Chains A and B, each alone.
Chain A
Amino acid sequence: MLHTKIIDTKDSKLSIQKAENFISSQDYGASIFFTGTVRNENNNQIVTGMTYDSHDELVIKSFEEIYDEANQKLNIKDKSVFIEHAKGYLTLGEISIVIAVACKHRDEAYVLSRYIIEEIKKRSPIWKKEHYHNKESSWLKGNPILHEKN
């Protein structure tokens, strides 16, 4: 089971409760919740907020591919996965990403959760613009996108 969504911060906020409602099942004995939040410092600069940009269709496609790959690469077939990512402006401490996974056992839940976030970092077209204490802002450098043909 998979749920994916890009959340426009003008409309709503990301929620761990929503993730728990989705993955909760008596079929699974282990659940992992990962959240990414906006930090107050980066590269010795005082950060006051972050703007997220996203190519929504390609991001959702990448989430689906990552989920499907877990079948083949990790051999984790029986699972429930919830992935939401924010788009727009977030202030300090607000949640930018929620990844919730539920599996039969803890070993595969930990592996799956880590796999999903690391693959998103490499393959999902999402960008961050940091806003600083001195009112300036800057797009973070990032890495060239990896995709299935690479």
Chain B
Amino acid sequence: MKVKIQLFGASRDFSNKNYLDFDVGKNSTIKDIRNKLINYLEEEFHGNENYKKIVKSSAFCSEDNNIVSDNYKITNNEKIAIIPPIGGG
């Protein structure tokens, strides 16, 4: 299955693009995406601790714009947004 992770806020530093593409197994959940991201950061950024902290403290948003839990099951080709800690205004 393919999933596109849309990057926002501090997670934009994870890539020059606005997104990351991952291949994941069938029935993968947000928890799996979180682990994929941590593995990606280990490989691409030598396990940058600040970046990993961002992933661990982030929420995730489904394609239909709902904040979803770690148990949320991803569908093929779904776009999932990572929502790092916020602070607008």
On A, residues with C-beta under 8 Å from B are 36, 52-55, 57-59, 61, 85, 96-97, 117, 120-121, 123-128, 139-145, 147, 149
Prevailing SS type, chain B contact patch: mixed
Known: A53-B9, A58-B81, A147-B67. 13 other contacts (CB 8 A): A58-B65, A58-B67, A97-B88, A117-B89, A125-B9, A125-B86, A128-B87, A142-B84, A143-B85, A143-B87, A144-B58, A144-B59, A145-B67
- Complex CA distance for A127 and B54, rounded to whole angstroms: 13
**B86 CB contact (under 8 Å) in A97, A117, A126, A149:** A126
Closest 4 pairs (CB-CB, A-B): A126-B88, A127-B9, A142-B85, A142-B87
Instruction: Note all chain B residues with C-beta closer than 8 A to A57.
Output: 65
Instruction: Note all chain A residues with C-beta closer than 8 A to B89.
Output: 36, 85, 96-97, 117, 120-121, 126
Instruction: Note all chain A residues with C-beta closer than 8 A to B83.
Output: 55, 58, 125, 145
Report the tally of A-B residue pairs with Cβ distances under 8 A.
84
**A127 CB contact (under 8 Å) in B57, B65, B88:** B88
What's the tally of chain B residues with a CB closer than 8 Å to chain A? 20
Instruction: Note all chain A residues with C-beta closer than 8 A to B9.
Output: 53, 125, 127, 139, 142
Instruction: Note all chain B residues with C-beta closer than 8 A to A121.
Output: 86-89
B20 within 8 A of A: no
On B, residues with C-beta under 8 Å from A are 8-10, 12-13, 57-59, 61, 65, 67, 69, 81, 83-89
Instruction: Note all chain B residues with C-beta closer than 8 A to A142.
Output: 9-10, 84-87
Prevailing SS type, chain A contact patch: mixed
For B63, give the chain A residue with the smallest CB separation: A57
- Complex CA distance for A84 and B3, rounded to whole angstroms: 32
- Complex CA distance for A147 and B60, rounded to whole angstroms: 11
- Complex CA distance for A117 and B89, rounded to whole angstroms: 7
Instruction: Note all chain A residues with C-beta closer than 8 A to B8.
Output: 53-55, 125, 127
Q: Is the CB of A120 within 8 A of B88?
A: yes
- Complex CA distance for A55 and B59, rounded to whole angstroms: 12
For B67, give the chain A residue with the smallest CB separation: A147
- Complex CA distance for A61 and B67, rounded to whole angstroms: 11
**B87 CB contact (under 8 Å) in A61, A117, A140, A147:** A140
